[in-house]
Structure 1
Amino acid sequence: MNTLSKMHAPASERGVVLLFCLIILVVLLAGGVAVMRSMDTTLFGAGNLAFKRDLINQGELAIAKAMREFQTSGALGATGTTSSNLPAANYSAIQLATNAKGIPEVLLKRTNLTGPDVVGNAFTPTGTPITGSGGVTVRYVIDRMCNATGAFSSIGKSGCVYTPSKTETSSGDQSQLATPGPSIPSPPIYRVSVRVDGPRDTQVFLQASFTKPE
């Protein structure tokens, strides 16, 4: 009888070991699933960053094109051409109205772009959008930061955002002063706003500003 009891004891111990092995395997399986999900999330995030970077790179084509329009051979390069709207070049001589994020309302329409400027006039750009690679379409508008059409020298500095000269700024303060500046007009500021439409209804918005003496 004693011999039989000793022979049955190892069978009971083997059952306990098997139970612990099953628990360890379940824990390892759960850990493996968590690692795989983490890797998938990381790869998905990296893919989104690369996709966004590509859209930004293609959006910069519009900024480069807008800058070319202000060169001598461009549509806005001749003296006086920036005094009035030029829809064919997507140019508004009056600052365009924007939403709370600073995006011109004209760019918020999916197609048939049109939107108001800051004084309520409708502006409809007619320039051809830029066709990028991979099904990307780039649309842009250029607006002069003024509240009226006409030459900057005629509108006056009270009606435009401009680059202050050294005589209009005090030490440590680069803001525009309320006192009249010199008779030589400072350059007005122009803004380029870009919307990039990518695959799967993705959108990226870009903005840049620059000055050009009139």
Structure 2
Amino acid sequence: MTLFPSSYSTAEVRARANRAQRGVIVFIALIAVLVLSLAAVALLRSTDTAGVISGNVAFKSATTSAADTGAERAFNALPTLATADADVTGKYFRLMQAVDANGIPTAVASNNWADVPCYDATGGATAISCSDESSYRVQYVIDRLCTTAPATTDPLTLLTSKCVAGQPFSSGGSAGDDLNSHAQTTNVFGSLTPPPPTRPTIHYRVTVRVQGPRNALSIVQTTIELPFG
């Protein structure tokens, strides 16, 4: 309790007490305003961060989806490349390539895919600029999963020792189940008649890289099985 000298009147004592209380209230109000301001700033930053994260996830998802066009390009180009049986810079390797810690062929990873052309994500036939960061840029490279070049006369046992090879398409399944889908792969590659019963298959690894806006990047790998011999 605050004591005032007896010379002060009751009105003066009350006035001094009111002024003291008003000063305390203003101080508390300023602290409250400061706390609310900090909370508002934190909320705005949290909202901005959530928006950035959502945007990055969307771009990442889009780059992964665009990888399908790269796999389709490889699928369409492979029969001609495999028949020619020769390395094509930035596109095809007739032998299995060493890979880095991420499973990417070191032949392309070591120079950051500089030799591999870029295409858009709509399936356009013309190569586009790989430096256009506002667009989705699709690249693909194929390597045949063989440690030694196979010969068309190799029997399946010898072929298997050289390559990742599969059974002939004709033994890919049994009647009534997935045999038809196995045989359809041959038809897609241009053969309207079933392959010979002893014709083996060779596996090819396709590595697709897609770059998108905001430095979004996706790398997808798939394997294609192609009749050989």
Go from structure 1 to structure 2 and tell me whether the alpha carbon gap of 1:152 and 1:98 turns closer, same or farther (over 3 Å shift): farther
Residues 134-213 of structure 1: pairs in structure 2 closer than 5 A: 134-151=134-151, 154=154, 155-163=158-166, 184=198, 186-199=200-213, 203-213=217-227
Secondary structure of 1:147's aligned partner? coil
Q: Quote the offset at 1:163 in angstroms.
A: 4.1
Identity %: 28
Question: Could you list the runs of 5+ residues in structure 1 that have no partner in the other structure?
Answer: 114-124, 167-182
1:176 matched residue in structure 2:
none
2:35 matched residue in structure 1:
27
- The whole-number CA distance in structure 2 between the counterparts of 1:20 and 1:152 is 89
- The whole-number CA distance in structure 2 between the counterparts of 1:4 and 1:112 is 87
AA aligned to 2:22 is R
2:49 matched residue in structure 1:
41
Go from structure 1 to structure 2 and tell me whether the alpha carbon gap of 1:57 and 1:153 turns closer, same or farther (over 3 Å shift): farther
Question: Could you list the runs of 5+ residues in structure 2 that have no partner in the other structure?
Answer: 1-8, 123-133, 172-196
1:103 matched residue in structure 2:
104
Secondary structure of 1:32's aligned partner? helix
Higher relative contact order (CA 8 A, sep 6+): 2
Go from structure 1 to structure 2 and tell me whether the alpha carbon gap of 1:69 and 1:105 turns closer, same or farther (over 3 Å shift): same
- The whole-number CA distance in structure 1 between the counterparts of 2:26 and 2:103 is 65
- The whole-number CA distance in structure 2 between the counterparts of 1:26 and 1:2 is 37
Secondary structure of 1:130's aligned partner? coil
- The whole-number CA distance in structure 2 between the counterparts of 1:50 and 1:106 is 30
AA aligned to 1:42 is A
Which structure has the larger Rg? 2
1:153 and 1:185 in contact (8 A); partners too: no
- The whole-number CA distance in structure 2 between the counterparts of 1:153 and 1:41 is 61
- The whole-number CA distance in structure 2 between the counterparts of 1:9 and 1:136 is 72
Go from structure 1 to structure 2 and tell me whether the alpha carbon gap of 1:144 and 1:26 turns closer, same or farther (over 3 Å shift): same
Secondary structure of 1:129's aligned partner? coil
Q: Quote the offset at 1:195 in angstroms.
A: 2.1
Q: Quote the offset at 1:164 in angstroms.
A: 6.6
1:122 matched residue in structure 2:
none
2:119 matched residue in structure 1:
130
Secondary structure of 2:165's aligned partner? coil
**Please, what TM-score do these two structures have when normalized by structure 2?**
0.66
Secondary structure of 2:164's aligned partner? coil
Secondary structure of 1:139's aligned partner? strand
Secondary structure of 2:205's aligned partner? strand
2:4 matched residue in structure 1:
none
- The whole-number CA distance in structure 2 between the counterparts of 1:153 and 1:24 is 86
Q: Quote the offset at 1:184 in angstroms.
A: 4.3
Aligned residues: 179
AA aligned to 1:3 is A
Q: Quote the offset at 1:202 in angstroms.
A: 5.1
AA aligned to 1:56 is T
Go from structure 1 to structure 2 and tell me whether the alpha carbon gap of 1:112 and 1:146 turns closer, same or farther (over 3 Å shift): same
Q: Please give the root-mean-square deviation of Cα atoms over the aligned residues, in Å.
A: 3.0
Q: Quote the offset at 1:60 in angstroms.
A: 2.1
